Amino acid sequence: MAAEAEVLDELHSLRARLPRLTGALAASVDGLVLAQDIRGVQPEGLAALTATAQGVALRLTDATGQGDFRELLVRGAHGYVATYAAGSSAVLTLVAEGRVNVGRLHLEGRRSGNRIGELLRAAAHQPDRTPGQPPSTPTATGGPLPVRTPSRRADPTRE
């Protein structure tokens, strides 16, 4: 994935902003790890559990008429697990100590979820390119600039 390094940078930045954060993981809504900065927990297992919890949360918000999924907070005896929507195809899961400022956790988690969603959306709209080919420059409408190729005139005297 083209955005994997940028998503990982966002996770590192998030952990630097929230010292009581003990782990961060970005995963697809299907439960696949996109990027992770977490220790002491199996990232693949956490991504699968996150996808399951997000699926239940989606059903819960739908059944109660509360709209699209935004976030989920679980409080345990030793801390918190918070999951935030990261665009339409991913989620951000944060693991924090019990002494974390929950308001700040939400503020930073929401910001990072939005940022990760933007990174993934931009990566999905980037055309694939062959190695060594420079990236295309986007136009004002967001698409790549057209490429002009010289054409040969149909001149029977030229070969």
Interval 110-142: pLDDT, tens = 999 999 999 999 988 876 544 444 444 444 444
95 pLDDT higher than 70: yes
Mean pLDDT of the chain: 85
| pLDDT, greater one: 91 or 155 | 91
The values of phi and psi at residue 108, to 5°, are: -70, -35
Helices (H) and strands (E) in the chain, counts: 3, 5
Nearest Cα residue to 36 out of 73, 1, 10? 10
What pLDDT is stored for residue 67 in this prediction? 93
User: Residue 38 belongs to what H/E stretch?
Assistant: strand 33-38
CATH class of 4-124: alpha beta
Highest mean pLDDT of the ranges 95-109, 124-138, 141-155? 95-109
Q: Is the pLDDT of residue 62 over 90?
A: yes
Here the tokens at position 157 are: 């005297």
pLDDT at residue 145 above 60? no
What 8-state DSSP symbol labels residue 7? H
Query: Is 70 exceeded by the pLDDT of residue 54?
Result: yes
**Amino acid 151: pLDDT:** 46
Q: Mean pLDDT, to the nearest integer, of 54-76?
A: 95
pLDDT at 91 over 70: yes
Share of the chain above pLDDT 70, in %: 78
pLDDT band at 157 (very low <50, low <70, confident <90, very high): low
Report whether pLDDT(146) > 50: no
Q: What is the pTM of this model?
A: 0.77
Sign of CA dihedral 24, 29, 35, 36: positive
* Residue found under tokens 């940078």: 9
